[in-house]
Homo-oligomer: A and B are copies of this chain.
Amino acid sequence: MLDKLQTQLEKQFGIKFNDSKLLVEAFTQGNYLNEHPNFKGHDYQRLEFLGDAVMQLQTAQYLYKNYPSWDEGQLTELRIAMVQTRSFASLAKQLSFNEYILLGHGEELNGARNRDSLLEDVWEAFIGALYLDQGAETVTNFLTQHMFNKIKTGFYDQFIDYKSKLQEFLQKNGAVQIKYQKLSQSELDEHNQQQFTVAVEVQGKVLSTGNGSSLKNAEKAAARAAYQQLTQK
């Protein structure tokens, strides 16, 4: 079952598990064990406990070393965006981790296989297993290739709630009126896609605009542009 994953890990990242039982454990969900009493092994929960802390330190360390001029607030903001359910689920899916999970029947029927919370658990458990089997340096190399290199592309921006951040920033000294105003909406193209443009207005003055494939995304883009402009990051 996990042969395909092992091949992929070796080919893409040069990773070869010494103890493949650890890899199996990382992908074993609790109810699968209940349903397969002859299956020897544990579920992923202890590895997830360990892997969660490995992810915190690996990410903190990367940011600490690569952003020497950032203060603690900036480091924390990016770390929170990176170390969270949706981010881990997304990283796990990119490696097709969802295909390999040994899942209980009920969970399968409930669609748990592609649920962010399960993918997050398995991601953390995998990192815990990798850390135990190969040590911290291999984890750092793996994360650098698959996770940290996405920082510069803006990948983790999607996990930052810029509308809340903008509101917080603007209302530090009391309530102000923030409005998102739709400026334009394109026709559907041949792929059924649309483009929206939104302006964010503060006390009636346009602060910034943003584009997106939905009204919500355009609002987020506008909020992000305004926030970054105001905080000059």
CB-nearest residue of chain B relative to A56?
Answer: B53
CA distance A49 to B54 in the complex (A): 15
Q: Is the CB of B53 within 8 A of A60?
A: yes
Interface segment out of the listed A32-40, A70-78, A94-102, A155-163: A70-78
Interface size, chain A (Cβ < 8 Å): 20
B residues within 8 A CB of A45? 71-72
CB-nearest residue of chain B relative to A69?
Answer: B46
B residues within 8 A CB of A60? 49-50, 52-53
A56 shortest CB reach to chain B, Å: 4
**Residue of A56, A57, A72, A136 with most partner-chain B CB within 10 A:** A57
Does A25 sit within 8 A of B, measured CB to CB? no
List A16-59 residues whose CB lies under 8 Å from chain B.
45-46, 48-50, 52-54, 56-57, 59
Identical chains bound together, number:
2
A34 shortest CB reach to chain B, Å: 14
CB-nearest residue of chain B relative to A128?
Answer: B64
**Chain A, interface SS category:** helix
B residues within 8 A CB of A57? 53-54, 56-57
CA distance A170 to B233 in the complex (A): 51
Q: Which one of B53, B61, B64, B76 contacts A61 once the chains associate, using CB atoms below 8 Å?
A: B53
A4 shortest CB reach to chain B, Å: 28
CB-nearest residue of chain B relative to A75?
Answer: B49
Residue-wise, chain A 177-204 has the 8 Å CB interface mask toward B (1 for contact) of: 0000000000000000000000000000
Q: Is the CB of B49 within 8 A of A76?
A: yes
